[in-house]
Structures are given as C-alpha cells and as structure tokens.
Structure 1
Amino acid sequence: MAVVAAMVLALAACGGEETNGLQDASAAEVGTRSVEALNSADSVHVVGTAQDPSAEGSTRYDLVLSGSSARGTMTSGSVVTEIVKVADDTYTKGSRAYYESIGEGDAADLLADRWVRLPAEDAEQYRLFTIEGFAMAIGEYVAALDGKVTTEDVAGRRAVAAGSAEGTRLWAANTGDPVPLRLDMLDGEQGRMEFSDYGTKVSITAPAGAVDLASLS
C-alpha cells in the first residue's frame, strides 16, 4: 500500500507541474515575454506557411534555427529549395524546376541540384532566418495582442493563448520558459508558425563543394 501511495503522489506531482505565471499575465505581456524567450533560445525547430506575395498560393518552410544559423527547406507549389545559413553566408540548392521558376533556366545546366553560395544581394531575402530574425518578425504581430488570456494544450504541452482584434493568435508555453509554441497570423490568412524542439543540440555547417556565385559574375 505504501508503494501505491507513493506512486499516486508522484503522479499528482507530475500533473501539478509549476507554471511560469503566464496565465496571470495580460495579453500584451504574454506577447512580450514569449518574444524575449524565443530570442534567448539556443535553438528551435520552426514549421510554417506564409502567403507568397509574388505568386498565388503559399510557401511552406521547415527550418532548424540556432543562433545566427539555419538549415531546412522552403516549398512553393512543387518546387523545393534547400537552405543553409551560417552567420553571414547563405547557401541554397534547387532543382532545374527551381531555376526555371525564377526565370534562370539557362543556369540550371550548371547549378541544378548543386549547393551555391549566394552573393550578398541575393542572400538578403534570407536575412531573417535566425532566431533573432524570427523573434523580430513575430514581435510585429504580437505587439497588438489584447483581450482575454486562456489556457490550452498545444501538442501535449500546457500553454496560454492570447489574440488580437486583427485576428493574430499566439500560444505560448505555460511551463518552463514562456516560449511561443504556435502563431496564427491574421486568422491564419497570412500563415501559421509552429515552434518545437527548443534547446536541442544542433550543428549547422556550410555544405562542401558549394559554387560561389559571386565568383561567376
């Protein structure tokens, strides 16, 4: 009986995991604290969609961020682009379909399915692919959070949710660091971000044998 009682107490303790107090915060504070927590994270896995202003439909991204580095993919329609960013150096790898989609079909013979190092002006479009960059980007959305803060579960994790009149909705962790777990931008019309695997040890290095586009110009 003593063993059973100990097990019950242990289970109760797990169920009563201490919160970080976010459930008592204002919506504005939920936004501020979650952005600060993301900015302080060592690493994070981000999966999301965003409306592509240059084309009909959306772009899906699947990225691992660590400091000022990132790796992952961007998918627009059936076209997939692989990306590695190591500090100020950005590398991409695309298929022939990718180069044709951006009007560079003549380059496909040389560059299709090969890693290329982008010149600074081309790498600029990936400048926010860092933890600091994502924190800054979501900060613009969550700045308008107001109204009621509710408690929910996100992917099995205790969370709080806060929204804005414009339709943005943020879910942030209610235990441990108050990191963002999910963000719907303007009722999802501008996309959604899902955040997971905070603090996982990752190694992001430059791909070997990359073609330096700056040297070809």
Structure 2
Amino acid sequence: MPDPHWTIPVARWSFWPAAASAAPDIGFIEPMTRRRLSTLSRAALKVAHDCSASVPAVRVVFASRHGELHRTTDILHTIDAGKTVSPTSFSLSVLNTMTGVFGIVRGDRTAATALSAGNETLGYALLEAHAQYATDASTPVLLVYADEPADPAYGPVEDDAEGGALAILLDASTQTGRLQCARVTDSAAARPAFASQCQAVQHCLDTHAASEWRGEHSHSMWRWCWHEGA
C-alpha cells in the first residue's frame, strides 16, 4: 500500500500557545457558559472563532489526544472522596465538549466529528478534514486541535502533548495557500527536532518552511509543506 499524501486548501489558521501569559479572549460566549469552561476548551474555542467568525456554517473536526482528561480526573477524585459530582462538570467532561459549546453558541447544526489517535492525533485529523472536504466542498471544514499534558497521576506518557490549540479552515474559495501532508514509512530517518505534531505543523504554517515529525517508537515520518496561492 502506498504511503498516504494529500493537500488541503487553507483559508486561514490560528494558534494559541499553552504558555500564553493572557487568557484567551472568548467574549463571544455568554458569561455563564464561559465561567464553566476548562482551559482546554477556552483555547480551542478561541482559535475556532478566529477562523470561522465570518463563516455562516462549518463542519468541525475536533481532535485531541487527551480531551477533557483533567476534568475527568477531578471527577474521579471527587467520587473517591465520597463527594457529589457536579452535573455540569460531568456534562463538560467528554472529549468533544468544545464542539457542542461551539455549535450552540453559533446556532450551527452542521455536523461535527471528534477523534483521538494517540501522539499522531493531529496528523490523522488533517486526513479526516481532507476526506470530508474532498467528499463535499460546498461547506468549509474547520479543523480544531487542542491538547494539554496528561495528569501526572497517569504516569509517564510517550510523546505527550505540550499543550496549545490550533485551528485551520479548509475552504478553496478563499484559500491563501495549500498545506501538503504526507505519512512516509521511514524507520531509518533521524528523529526531527519537533517534540509534537502540533509544533511541526504550526512551524510550517508560520514560516512556510517544510517540517517533519516522528514519534519515539514510530516507523513512520509525518511531513508537511506549504505552497502559496491556489
């Protein structure tokens, strides 16, 4: 089977670093809901809004290795302590919390997909977004990736996420460039400097320089290249 490679039309993109000193601006969400959101969902909603505020309807592909694991862990600690779990905390602890809040805030009932694929989550999310857009280009596809390191209670995690959120809007009618993606079987290649796929993709989008990533025990190399214009 040949190594998969594909190209997506990038209309706009946004990145929010985990190390940002200020909290993400999500003033487009009403205060009651805003107060209940986790750090992860706030970052995801901020970049999602940056890319889609002027778009009437978008299909969302949300990707996260751990999702709302910190909230779930807090719930488990609460149960272990014999206390009552907040219904709100429970309802906001699922992987795709962000997609539900996003759809409600926008009044957008367009389909949303959530996925998780270990340390290769972003790479496969890019493939899913491409597949959806290639199947039907009538509605833009919004890819949102957001993650944060797992709670120390779970022990060491291989190639764990460093945190942050990235959104990419796929829309050929307003594209500014194309992101070429590939997964290549290459076990002999040296491991690139990027610690995560998110770092590598963000570097490619920001600098327009090609980037690569390979997991610590992976036999496949992920590669991204930027091409200007249509």
TM-score (norm 2): 0.23
Structure with bigger strand share is: 1
